[in-house]
Amino acid sequence: MSISRRDFLFAMQAAAMAGLAPRLALAKSGEKLYDAPAFGNVRLLHLTDIHAQLQPVHFREPNVNLGIGPSNGKVPHVVGKHFLDHFGVASGSPRAHAFTYLNYTEAAQEYGRMGGFAHLKTLISQLRDQAGAGNSLLLDGGDLWQGSGTAFWTQGEDMVEASNLLGIDIMTGHWEFTYPEAQIRKNIEGFNGEFLAQNVFLSEEAMFMGAEAFDEFSGRVFKPYTVRELGGKRVAVIGQAFPYTPIANPSYFIPDWRFGIRESEMQQLVNEIRENEQVHAVVVLSHNGMDVDLKMASRVTGIDAILGGHTHDAVPQPTVVTNPGGKTLVSNAGTNGKYVAVLDLDIGDNGLRDYEYKLLPVFSDLIPADAAMVDFIETVRAPYADKLAEELAVTDELLYRRGNFNGTLDQLICDAQRKVLDAQISLSPGFRWGTSILPGEAITMDDVMNATAITYPETYVREMSGADLKLIMEDVADNLFNKDPYYQQGGDMVRVGGMDYTCDPTGSMNGRISDMRLDNGDPIEANKVYKVAGWATVNSRAPGKPIWDVVADYLRSEKTVKIDKFNTPKLKNVAGNPGLEDYAG
């Protein structure tokens, strides 16, 4: 029986009134999104960079993810149409919406929100059942305990409980280390799985003073690896925490701990595991960032797969890296609970024989919510529900944060600082987390906390010379665009308000930033002093009130949000780069 266009539109309208439009749109697409029959004898499920998002969200993928030098045009530095072409994803499909920024607002309205722990629980249970009892592990790559109001107010404890309900077996960390050491240890103690990190060591002084460590002889703070029996085979999992935590985040939370990539220690550990543990496969659960993982995979031998995080790259298929000892799969599983990565391994007595990989987008309207998880989320949010639900303003445009330079949500934060704190210029960190808000939606305190909830949120206003401003910009640009991934030590480019500039990502240190100007066109002069507002200082506590209060005050006064001036830089020498599309700078 066929259906006329008129009848179809009527049915869609009725479904929309009942809240079913996204589900019908997804069903209409005909894509078998969750067709993932088990392959081989071991199933590894991978989540990463959830940033404490317990509920379904909107999250726009980037239109700017530049690869510079050897990374130009290589995964993960492809966006939009280039991404679709590279991975063979159909334009206009649900997967195209999940993996790219293209037609984001329209597609988000059509397909609905993504993620949410209640929906993840249902999907993960199904995927584990398919693999059979004792044949799967659920791994989390870190940035789990931070990124929401409830995570901030409970010091990450809400996410520890949620991860226990979800059934996470193993995790590593990054933003987990932005709580005080005592809280970190409390959270790990409450976690039912194993927390692994081979690359975190006590300082020499802390070792001498007898500070707590997993291994007093080596000074390793945490257990470096674990071996699990899966599908009749022994699989080792090594944890690799974010190497540059004390640079990108305050070291005063964890003054006794020393981080780093620790490539030589990783190679030594892999060798020892291979020699002593009779394992059939070695997997690294990493928070290095994908470019760092790719380089490590080319240099460290004996690793079968690196399941990575930190850079929030949603990569549908792993990159196969050749090294002197063989080949290593390198993947990255996105962010915000939007995806579940499924790595099925066929492991024989002599090691890995074959694999299948799927990165499953989690469309919340397609997956029934797990009742126990729904009850937990409602309970943990209840003490803060009224505060989180406050409607501060309405947005006239899509608010998002993700990409090498300012997103509209970053611009809003910068504008709020300039107005509320009475500054000429504002700076905001190049964070990759923070959920998206569609045009016409109310901006709630929940949304603001999702973009600002850190343990060092204090704002500042200070005088800075033009020379100091340029030094800051150049330093962050070098972290982002250094051609050697091992020197990429932070997030994306610092966000700015009230100032325009030109950026040459292909340049070298002190040669990437030029033509800095105030919004009125006046050039930034090296010897002139400017009033600058900012937040999230790393080396010391700032004196001002938390950034979320500044943003909330601004939104309450504005009522309706529209970005009048978008301070994205003018770019040089990146024409034709497949990591750049629809750029407004």
Interval 331-363: pLDDT, tens? 999 999 999 999 999 999 999 999 999 999 999
Determine contact, residues 542/460, Cβ cutoff 8 Å: yes
Mean pLDDT taken over the chain: 94
Average pLDDT on 491-504 reads 97
pLDDT score of 65 more than 60: yes
Sheet containing strand 529-535, edge to edge, reads 459-465, 529-535, 425-428, 495-497
* pLDDT score at 22: 66
Interval 307-322: pLDDT, tens? 999 999 999 999 999 9
pLDDT score of 179 more than 80: yes
* pLDDT score at 7: 45
- Least trusted range by pLDDT, from 4-8, 120-124, 290-294, 371-375: 4-8
Overall size of the chain counted in residues: 585
* pLDDT score at 13: 45
How far CA 90 is from CA of 64, 81, 579, in Å, comes to 21, 10, 19
* pLDDT score at 278: 97
Spatial CB neighbours of 40, under 8 Å, sequence gap ≥ 6: 231, 344, 345, 346, 347, 353, 354, 355, 356
Average pLDDT on 99-123 reads 97
* pLDDT score at 21: 61
pLDDT score of 486 more than 60: yes
pLDDT band at 67 (very low <50, low <70, confident <90, very high): very high
How far CA 466 is from CA of 98, 471, 523, 568, in Å, comes to 41, 9, 9, 18
CA distance 117 to 162: 8
Where helices occur in 34-111 by DSSP H, the ranges are 80-87, 94-99, 104-111
Percentage of the chain beyond pLDDT 70 is: 95
CB atoms under 10 Å from CB of 496, counted, come to 26
Interval 129-163: pLDDT, tens? 999 999 999 999 999 999 999 999 999 999 999 99
Decide: helix, strand or coil at residue 96: helix
Rg (CA), the chain: 23
Interval 419-429: pLDDT, tens? 999 999 999 99
Interval 387-404: pLDDT, tens? 999 999 999 999 999 999
- Least trusted range by pLDDT, from 173-187, 230-244, 479-493: 479-493
How far CA 393 is from CA of 97, 440, 444, in Å, comes to 27, 10, 7
Interval 534-566: pLDDT, tens? 999 999 999 999 999 999 999 999 999 999 999
Interval 234-259: pLDDT, tens? 999 999 999 999 999 999 999 999 99
Interval 264-288: pLDDT, tens? 999 999 999 999 999 999 999 999 9
* H/E run at residue 345: strand 339-348
Decide: helix, strand or coil at residue 230: strand
pLDDT band at 2 (very low <50, low <70, confident <90, very high): very low
Interval 16-48: pLDDT, tens? 444 556 666 676 666 778 888 889 999 999 999
CA distance 58 to 401: 11
